A = this chain, B = another copy of it.
Amino acid sequence: MKHFFYPRSVAVIGVSEKESNLARNIVKNCLEFGFKGDIFGVGKKAGRILGIPIFTSIESLPQGIDLAVILTPAETIAGIMTELGKIGVQWIIIETGGFSEFDPRRQKLEAEILKVARRYNQRLIGPNCLGVINMETGLCTPFAPYRRDMRTGGVSIISQSGGMGRTFFSILESEGIGLNKFVSVGNKLDVGEAELLRYFLADSATGIVFLYLEDLREGRDFLAAAYNSDKPILVYKANRGRMGSSIALSHTKALATDDHVVEAALDEAGTIRIRKTYELGKALKAFHMPALKGPNLIVISRSGGHAVVAADACEMEGLCLPPLASELKGKLKKHLRANVIRLQNPLDMGDVYDFDVFLMAIEEALEQESIHGVLFVLVYPEFVNAQHVRRMIPYLEQFMRRYQKPIAATFISSPGELKKLREEFSLPIFSSSEEAVEALAISYHHHRLKKIRKVVSTGFQVYPSSHIEETLKKPSRRQRNLLLHESLEVLVINGFPVAPYKFVQNVTQAVNFARDFGFPVVLKMVSREILHKSKHDGVRLDINTFSGIRRAFLEMKRKMVDQGLEDQEWGLVIQKMVPAGQEVILGARRDPNFGPVVVFGLGGIFAEVFKDVAIRLAPLDELRAREMIKQVKSIPAFTGTDKKGRVDFKLIEECLLKVSDLIMTQEKIAELDINPLILYPHGGHIVDARIILR
């Protein structure tokens, strides 16, 4: 991977002397960015561009070229790669567009390219990308012209879109944050985000990784890389559009839409999600300070208004402004004219014009063990205080190093002044107290999450599953999903608490069931046809007599005949009607990128209107199962001693673990939906379930 970022020599293929030639921008950019290695051009006509020779064939290139950048028509690329392979070039960036992103039929071209790459052991970035920028070496391969406006620093970026790069660079430039490396991955034919992430996490020059992704194909691989990283990983996932969830067959699928799964997965891996590009600067600044290791802040402001706004923002973001300790008050009193300043948090220093007093107050605050960070808001006219501020900043930087606590410096002055400060210093500078508080909150919540994630390891038990596989065989062979009684059977085999039931095809069987299990009972239609419908009126509740069973059985059978539901696998499930209780739903599905996920919630209005469900990647362990239960906001409402009573939480936990095991061990199961599990103070019953095969 290193040769993509630190090549000693680069060949740019597709250049010409013409002004309109795009590939010449690649050469131009490398020169503009100060690339120190050798550059060679390859084009149809010999000549020179910007002092670089143009070769007319690849074989005439000197030996030992590390990296080739190709910008020639799509059809020509496989051939060029073959020639490159022959002279031993193994690292290739293909910038040409017009592949599968434009027309799915062009996948053939991509397959051809991959074949060549395999033959010559070549690794590819692209196609349809801008390639690599490395601020350290001056490598800059985009085919659009770039200027070296950003400073060099520790942020490395993986972007699926080239165009978004300018947005990110513009944010870095205006915040005064330094870029380390940038890679535009395009169609990700070979090298993808997971591999690049792993490279950046190991790269000593990279301190923070930011990813812009439109899809996340190797989800698990990506997470594995992210999971144990100590470097902050920021992710902007675009393409969030809702799936047509109304057409989904199971609840689980409708609730766990792609974006919800991405959310759960990125959270599981301890990454920071960026939701708007304009919030990137704030998040990056958060990680250019020591972490906020607890929620307690002291706000020191020179304007009452900003103090109020900061306090509001703290409340909203879950940070605290504890009252000033009397020890701190005593120290402040010595320095402040306490008859004008009220010693409270937020501390409004309105009438103080002495910058040394600000510094003293900040340091005293940081010295308090129970205080985890300081928000300092300074409103000032630059033409009066510019020099004071410049004298102050090195102290703020020094304090942060010494106390290993963040000082979010918020300077309210003219835009020009802030621009100058950001050019002169590397201190992160905030321009509103809300932005500063939000950055501190990002830091705090990330620090907390990382700590939680560290104590937990993921594992799962494997159940003996041969019996289940037997149950899955028939439906799988007949290419249909499981009928109700088959789904319930899978659950029974796995030790789920299923309410007693039996699949029956005549009245006698049904009556015998009631004789064994007693009344009341429920009858439910079973048919292949019904499988395809998400809602059907095929249930009779609360049957209390044998004659009632007979009547219901015959009626339902007639109905099935009338509606054409009486195929060869028709029948009824007779089930013991269990007492009412608190209903919950649980399920699992396979996400195309992240694999198995488990879903849990109260169902009904809570799931559908309030989206109050917990989603996590399988496998679950006990801690994660318990976290899921806690995460559902509507749950505490029935944990108290109110009229509904407690429910058996242990049972939910066990069922969640069993669901997780099922989806992890049974390759054939695509979706599993338990709806509802009826809960009591002790125990509970599953009365309906649906299993969909791949």
Interface pair A163/B306, CB less than 8 Å apart: yes
Size category of the binding interface on chain A: 35 or more
Beyond A147-B414, A605-B634, 16 additional contacts (C-beta under 8 Å) are A145-B381, A145-B383, A146-B381, A149-B414, A161-B303, A161-B304, A163-B302, A166-B412, A166-B413, A167-B412, A238-B309, A239-B308, A276-B435, A277-B309, A604-B637, A610-B610
Interface pair A240/B163, CB less than 8 Å apart: no
A644 to B30 alpha-carbon distance, docked (Å): 70
Interface pair B164/A309, CB less than 8 Å apart: yes
Interface pair B166/A379, CB less than 8 Å apart: yes
A-B contact list, 9 entries, CB within 8 Å: A164-B303, A170-B431, A238-B305, A238-B312, A239-B308, A240-B316, A278-B434, A609-B637, A610-B610
The answer, yes or no, to whether A160 is at the interface (CB within 8 Å) is: yes
A324 to B99 alpha-carbon distance, docked (Å): 24
Question: Which residues from B are CB-within-8-Å of A414?
Answer: 147, 149, 169-170, 173
A608 to B610 alpha-carbon distance, docked (Å): 13
* In the complex with contacts A163-B303, A412-B170, A238-B308 CB distance below 8 A: yes
Interface pair A145/B413, CB less than 8 Å apart: no
Closest 6 CB pairs of A and B: A163-B303, A161-B305, A605-B637, A164-B305, A174-B415, A276-B434
A312 to B405 alpha-carbon distance, docked (Å): 37
A238 to B431 alpha-carbon distance, docked (Å): 17
Question: Which residues from B are CB-within-8-Å of A610?
Answer: 610, 612, 633-634
A175: nearest residue on chain B (CB-CB)? Answer: B415
Interface pair A277/B434, CB less than 8 Å apart: yes
A201 to B342 alpha-carbon distance, docked (Å): 38
* In the complex with contacts A308-B239, A381-B145, A415-B173, A432-B609 CB distance below 8 A: no
The answer, yes or no, to whether A564 is at the interface (CB within 8 Å) is: no
Question: Which residues from B are CB-within-8-Å of A605?
Answer: 634, 637
What residues make up the interface of A, taking CB atoms closer than 8 Å to B? 97-98, 101-102, 144-147, 149, 159-164, 166-167, 169-170, 173-174, 212, 214, 238-242, 276-278, 302-306, 308-309, 311-313, 315-316, 340, 342, 350-351, 379, 381, 383-384, 412-416, 418-419, 431-435, 604-605, 608-610, 612, 633-634, 636-637
A166 to B385 alpha-carbon distance, docked (Å): 14
A128: nearest residue on chain B (CB-CB)? Answer: B304
Nearest Cβ distance between residue A687 and chain B, in whole angstroms?
15
Nearest Cβ distance between residue A490 and chain B, in whole angstroms?
28
Question: Which residues from B are CB-within-8-Å of A160?
Answer: 305
A306 to B278 alpha-carbon distance, docked (Å): 13
A351 to B101 alpha-carbon distance, docked (Å): 14
A146: nearest residue on chain B (CB-CB)? Answer: B381
Task: Choose one: B149, B239, B418, B432; the contact of A312 (CB below 8 Å).
Answer: B239
A51 to B347 alpha-carbon distance, docked (Å): 39
Max chain B CB contacts within 10 Å: which of A309, A414, A433? A309
